[in-house]
Structure 1
Amino acid sequence: MRPVSIKVENFLGIKYANVEFEQGVFLIVGKNGAGKSSLLEAMVFALYGAGVRYGRQSPKSYVRTGSDFCQVQFTFLKNGKKYQIIRRVSENGHQAKLLENNKVIATQRSAVDDFVQKIIGASYDSFITTFLLPQGMATELLTASWSKIEEVIFDVLFPKKVLKTVQEKIAEKFQEAKTQHEIKQFELSSLRKQLEDLSAKTNKEKILQYEEYLKQIEQQLSKLELEHEIVKKAAETWKEIDQLDQQIAELEKLEKDLAQKAEKEQKIIVAKQLEAIYIRYKNDKELVQQTLQERRKTVDKLDKLQSQLEQTKLQINEKSNRLNDLNSLYETLRVKLDNLTKIRQNSEPILQKIVQLAAEKRKLEEYLSQIKRKSQDVKERIERKKQDLQKLYTASEDLNNEIQSMNNVAIAKMASLIAQHLAVGDRCPVCGNEYKGQPPIQAEINLGLYEQKLKQLEDLKGQIVAIESELAVLNKQFDSLTSDEIKLNVELEEKNQMIRTLQEDLVKEGYYQNLTKDIDELSKKLESVTKEKSLVESQISSLLESKNQITQRIEEIREELKLLDDKLKLLQERAKESETAFFEELDKASLTFEDFEKLRNLKVENALEQLKNIQIRLNDCKQRKNQLLSQMTVDRSTTYKKLAELGEEIQKLKKQRDLVINEKAVTQHLLNQIEELELKKQRCEQEYQTVYEKYQVYSLVKSTFGAKEFQAYVAKVALDQILTLANQHLNVITDGRFQLGIGPNGFVIRDFGVIRHADGLSGGEKTIVSLALAMAIAEATLGEMEAFFVDEGFSALDSENKSKMASVLKGMEKLNKVVGFVTHDPEFAEYFSRKLVVEKGGVVRWM
């Protein structure tokens, strides 16, 4: 845990303090009652919800006298994370909040306490006896009993959460070993039971019986299969004869069909021979159609070009007319622009004077506007002051009337008071007359109120005088502004007259308001006309060129049309000749054109050749049938019946054989299972022994880690390391005089070899040994607790020991911790350069 900052409000003697901690060794100094100890108590209170002074009493005890709340905000680092604790005590109770990396993780006081305990890893008692030693408690651990020492050391150096984690891990391993032990025990019992069951069901003698029975079945089956093979061949011969009868019938039918196809095929051959003549006739006819179509396209093209030529001529005429119009417009605009430009040149000096006068006029108008605003403001202020003055007049008059009504009563009261001290015949100190003993007047008046009214009246008169003075100033200021306004109006009228005269001169020159705009527009129009003229001239040139190209193309197409007409005449004559030759050949073959169209697309299937082949196959089938019939000695039905009977007997024997084989296999499988189970049982017994030994070991470790002897052993090992470090510091501070050890009841000190109990040391000696022990613990916890604070532990030391102690304490810089010591001793403070000064109320500053 490394402190980063602490902010304290209304806590014990601190009104407000905000400290940013720095790494290294520093002193906390200040006057008595400034809040040095309160600052450290605030840190303990932030971590554990309880301080040192009042312990775990009501948190309201920590609220600063005269305040209704106190609040502590402590920020620290732990394991790479930033934590912030905020505790507030008020009439509403004790509220707490814990943040981790700026995210709230707990808001209930109990939850915050639990989280902080886990994060810090040290209890409240351990913290204030090792890492933060409060005022008057620096020697508490040194004088503690062995059980208390063991508890603190174990808590600080071997946190309970670490022990708990180890114990949980061991318990988990123990449970795993126990489960494995039970599983293996069950597996072994199960394997033994299976072996007993299987051994009762089978043995190796059954295998021999099955093998003998199978041998007999195989002999019978071999004899029947040989006889079955002979009958099967005879049945296959009868089957082949039946197939030959079917083939002969099919071939005879096919022979008849092919005879009809052969006749039709002869006509197809003739049609295919005429196909070449027909193709020539058809091609000639298509060429004529193509040429006619080409001629029509050429004529259409010629018509389009002639139409395009007429349109081009019309466009040339239109563009020529537009060019003439543009030339005329150009001349008109040019003359008008020259005249307007001349007027503008003559008017330019007059315009400059008008602009200058207008600028001067605007300045006067702005100044006049300011004068008017000021005048209006002064006028409004005068009205307000008059209203205020009227109110004061009224209030003064009312107060004066009230005072006048009180005057007579006041005078009577004063006379009564004076009369009480006069005897008859005495002279009155007020009026100078002789006192004749008249009875005193009983008048009641509040003299304090009367004096207050008089003072109020004087104040009102002073205010009236002040406002009247302000009114006089404001009236004078208003008169001055009015005079300035009249002068400015006269100057403005002179400027306006001069501008009007110049504007009349402009009219005489022919100038008007939109002259410049008209000149710009004329310039743009003239430029536009010029561009359009160039465009139209370019378009006319392009159109003339297009006209020449179209005319030339028309002549070329007319020549193409003449050539096409000659070509068409020749093609038509050749097509007529092809058509006559084709139809003459059709007449010779006795075919119509429709028959020719159908036949020429049919394929020649070689029906004549196929007919010859069918006849040969038919003759072969008949010869093969006669040959097979001569070989047969038994009729067809007897053969098929015998074959079926033999097949049934063979199937019955095969089923018997398969059944015996299956039973033999089952028996063999059971024997194999027995062998496998024997091997599994042997392996399982070995594994069971291993798991059992592991289970015994974890059981022993589990019971050991839960024992107090283990905690005592851990504390003893850690304490040996701490004592080594503490004695190194004592060698330096006491020049080898003191050595710290552990006895049956707690710490003991060897003073030049003589054993002394801690309670027998003087105050200074206790301080030296206690601080050496605390520094050793701080070094031993490096990386876990990165803070170490001591409150007022040095006042009992003499000068020599202060110097040695300061040297050792400054050596803690190497620990990279936040190390702070509270002291009132100026001599001790001189040994340190870095100090945190706490002033009254908790104001802090580094020096």
Structure 2
Amino acid sequence: MRFDRIRLKNFKPYADTDLELDEGVTVIHGLNGSGKSSLLEACFFALYGSKALDSTQTLEDVVTNGEEESEVELWFTHAGESYHVERRIRLSGDRATTAKCVLEGSAVPDGSVDGARDVRKFVVNLLRMDADAFVNCAYVRQGEVNKLINASPGERQDMIDDLLQLGKLEEYRERARSARLGVEDVLGDKRGGLRELSSQVEEKEETNPYDRLNALQTELGELKAAIERYETQREKAKKSRDEAVETLDDYEEKRAELAELADDIESLKSDIAETEEKRETLRENAREVRERADELTSTVTDAVAESELDAVDDDAISARLTALSTRNEELTESIQELRENAQGFENQSSNLAEKATDLESRAEQKRTRAEELEAEHETGESELDDRREALGEIDTQIDDLEATFEEAPVDRGDASAHLADLREEKSSLRDDLETVRTKLRSTRQRVEEARRLLDEGKCPECGQPVDDSPHVDTLDEDRARVEELDAEREALEAEIASLDGDIDGAEKLVEAENELGRLRERRDSVTSLIDQRENTLAEKVEQAETARSAAEEHGEKAEELREAAEQTASRAEETRENIAELETEREGVKASEERLERVQSLRGEIADAEARLDRLSERRSDLDELNDERRERLTEKQRRRRELRDGVDESQIQQAKERRSNAEQYLEQVDNELASLAEKRTKLDNDIGGAKTDIERLEELREKRGHVAERVEALESLHEETEELEAMYGDLRAELRQRNVETLERMLNETFDLVYANDAYARIRLDGEYELTVYQKDGRALDPEQLSGGERALFNLSLRCAIYRLLAEGIEGAAPTPPLILDEPTVFLDSGHVGRLVDLVEEMRGFGVRQIIIVSHDDELVGAADDLVTVEKNPTSNRSTVRHEETAGLSAVESVADD
């Protein structure tokens, strides 16, 4: 896996940053506090969201102070597939929420994943590591370089097991154990259920439900036969009762018809009298309508006298109204057309005036812009003079520095090598001096001891009395040796003192070389700025002339538009006067139309009155005919009443009442008996249903018992399988851990040999519980905590790199891993250890790590970079920016930092 590109907007100190990352070693360089680590935190945050923040941070902390939204986009490649993840954080009050989180890629199902939780889940599955595993494997955070070495063996074991996916095996073993315990619980329940079902089957079988069902069904058949006999007799009684009721109903119908006839006869007599009264009222109404028609005729005559009609008929009135309507429409159309013309003239005049105003405003803007450009040109010329003066000062400084190398013992460019040679020579002389001093102290001690022994009368060599001793003469030799060593010491000290002066001179030459490089860079930069500024000022002069020319053109055009607007306004006023004349004529036409419509309306009322007289006459004739019909109906009903009175027989009615009474008494008795039999039948049906239910329940219990027995057998088999699975996961984890420990120990010692080559340490041992032991070359064992701070930090980096190699190379094949990220790894390292860290980085490149990202303010790491990114923070706005640099070596980096 590798990071391809990161884009930030309002993320921590970054306002708007877009950075592309390549394969190889990328060093993100800058001063402390410039925002280097925030770039890596943004990559980490893009992948894991809030899970990437440490315990002291919240979502609110990622949004730049004073802003309401923050955006992070990361493009990365994994296993040959490209992905793009975008997150947007929005502040609402004091609380931040994820407003957008989308991951896209060609290998993503449906093309994209939405939502912070789903995106994080996808990333974890894709990389096979969560945020904690990512930090422990590939991301050495600032200040956490000793995290693994300071962890307890148990914590270290959990971290590395999780990285190597062994934690999953323990999780699976725990799941298998939980499953086994769950199966045991279910198996116990099922065995108890099986015993309970067997007991219930025995109880049901003891009730013998099959025989009981046969007896109940026989009894039910006998009862149904008795019910059928009673229902036959009941039907006969119902028929006798219905015939008697029919006779009585016929009698009641005749009595009802007689009563109805009496009412009809009285009603017809009343209606005949009432209709005669209505005929008289209609005759009076006809007289009133005739008087109203005469009055309307007189009114029409007066209205015609006011009109211009030659003849008073419908055709003449309609023709005149049509002519007036046509004229009214013509006038209306003319007025509308003139109004549209007038409105158009007014709109045109307004538009022309607005355009003239706009052109005048634009002309004024062009004049103002020309003045601003001229002022900027004057200011720019002054600044350009200052830059030319500064360029001259830089040239003078460069000449002075180059002059220092004219009489120097080395050429320009060789000062650093010369200084290193002098320091090496001084170090060699200091070693010689220390050897001479040691020998001098030892020889002096022998001389002093010999003098003491001589004073005591003993031989300085053997401790025997001086007389006849063969070793007394060696004292003079030691004294001579002291004088020689003392002279040699003085000569070495004088030579070292002389070298100190040479070293001071060489250091000044190195400083002069560095300063010269910085000044030449500044000179190139200032020269480029002067050229750009001269081009810009020439452009401003041309822009000012163009603006003034445009202002004059706009002013002339505005005057022409003003004159056109006034002419158009005059035409609009003339059109409004014509409209007023036509509206006066249209009012006269409307008055004539209203008079004719009044005549037409009066003629209609007269016609209505005459029609009403005809209707009243017809109504009186209809009422006369209606009374004739009623009199005929009255005669018919009186005849029918006499016939009904003659057809009623009282003896037949009495016999029908007796038959009905006897039948009802029998039906009451037979209904009671049938009700009793129905209750018995219901009870038998219920008992039969109970027996059938018992049989069904018995069959269900037998079937359920069989299923439960099969389930118990299956659970017993499953219990054995879960026990075997639990043991298998435990054995597999132990075996894989041992294999990983052996591979990790080998890789760790390979890295260790590189970092501590020719040092006092021999090897590292990593046991099965991830306990670490360092062995010195004399065989003595050390705990990593006994190492110095720098050694411990470098040791931990070696361990982290070995773990990364194990994940990248695997035990049996390569696997895709994230970039190796080192955030300020030199915090606890001295200069010597930093050089070893550079060797470690080169070694990881040799192992095939595709992308290594190092964040550091240390210049010594720049030499290992394929790509150099410089981070700077503006002290005024407190915003950070990034830029790619040429990887030309340490001196170039120092020059950029000083500028």
**TM-score range relative to shorter protein:** 0.3 to 0.5
| Larger Rg belongs to | 1
Tell me the TM-score normalized by structure 2.
0.39
